[in-house]
Structure 1
Amino acid sequence: MAVSRFQRGHLSPPEQQEILTQIGMRILEEVPENWERITYSIQSVIDHSSAEVVVEFPDGTSRREPFPPEVLSLTDELRAGMYQEGKGTWFSMRYVISRPGKFNVDFDYDEDPGITFPTSRGFTMDLRYFPREEANIPDWLREKLREEADGRADQP
């Protein structure tokens, strides 16, 4: 993930909406036509992300599907562009598309995204690029920062 190549906090709400629409359109181009619901989930820090697209079908089954690399680039731009001074930016996004093509997106700015790689150093770098006021640093993130400060960042 190369979020640092994107400008921070530059996207207006209509521009954010446009990128979300582009993400959905690119995903829809890649999934089987008989989908019922599609969920794109991503957990991110500045230099790493973990993402998946899960397609649910009318018969109740579901499966992971590949998605185009442009989706990650668009998501990186969205994450950087949604940065808010003092608040930071989100760590996780859940994007759900339901028939006939409506979508709903949830952003999580506060919960641990569950990324185990990279180590704490990735969270430290993320906070440097997307600064947060002390009141907006969750306890789990403080612990990750302490791990690096104490030299425990590279330990399993």
Structure 2
Amino acid sequence: MAVSRFRRGHLSPPEQQQILTQIGTKLLVEVPEDWERVTYFIQSVVDHSSAEVVVEFPDGTSRRESLPAEVFSLTDELRAGMYQEGKGTWFSMRYVISRPGKFNVDFNHDEDPGITFPTSQGFTKDLRYFPREEANIPEWLREKLREEAEGRADQL
């Protein structure tokens, strides 16, 4: 996430919906026509994201597909724009599109997203950019912040 490009907390619910629709449209342009269900899953902090797109077909098979570059940018804007003062923003999102084009999105604001980072200060930087009040910092995040502060994140 290129933090300098995205403002925090600026998206209204209709604007969030508009970005989600754009994400879905970009995803569907890239997948095979015979898709049955498309799942886009992303885990993110300020300096790092990991994502995957899985397409399921009517015969029960599935395969990973490439993620259009524009989707990362839209997702970064969505994550920053959904920030709530003192509450933070989400760490992961699961976006599922089912035929004929209905979608459902789940945001994870409080559970450990289960990702590892190429930098040792991923969660610390994220909390700096998306501050949370003490009451809104889950215990798993407190532990990640301690690991980073003590230099243990590099050893994991």
Give the TM bin, normalised by the shorter chain: over 0.9
Equivalent position of 2:26 in the other structure: 26
Larger deviation: 94-103 or 117-126?
117-126
- Superposition TM-score, scaled by structure 2 size: 0.96
Equivalent position of 1:9 in the other structure: 9
Q: 1:120 deviation in Å?
A: 4.6
Number of positions where the alignment pairs a residue of Structure 1 with one of Structure 2: 156
Q: 1:5 deviation in Å?
A: 2.2
Q: 1:119 deviation in Å?
A: 4.7
Show structure 1 runs of 4+ deviating over 2 A: none
The answer to whether the 8 Å contact 1:4/1:129 transfers is no
1:95 corresponds to 2:95: yes
When the two chains are superposed, the root-mean-square deviation of aligned CA atoms in Å is 1.0
Matches of 2:128 and 2:147 in 1, distance apart? 16
Which residues in structure 2 correspond to 1:6-155 (within 5 Å)? Answer: 6-155=6-155
Matches of 2:26 and 2:151 in 1, distance apart? 42
Q: 1:114 deviation in Å?
A: 1.3
Identity %: 87
Structure 1 residues 40-59: Cα deviation after superposition (integer angstroms, max 9, x where no partner): 00000001001000000000
Matches of 2:4 and 2:147 in 1, distance apart? 23
The answer to whether the 8 Å contact 2:120/2:151 transfers is no
Q: 1:145 deviation in Å?
A: 0.7
The answer to whether the 8 Å contact 1:4/1:46 transfers is no
| Unmatched tracts of structure 1, length 5 or more | none
The answer to whether the 8 Å contact 2:54/2:64 transfers is yes
- 2:77 maps to amino acid: E
Against the structure 1 CA distance between its residues 51 and 19, is the aligned structure 2 distance closer, same or farther, given a 3 Å change threshold?
same
SS, match of residue 43 in structure 2: strand
| Unmatched tracts of structure 2, length 5 or more | none
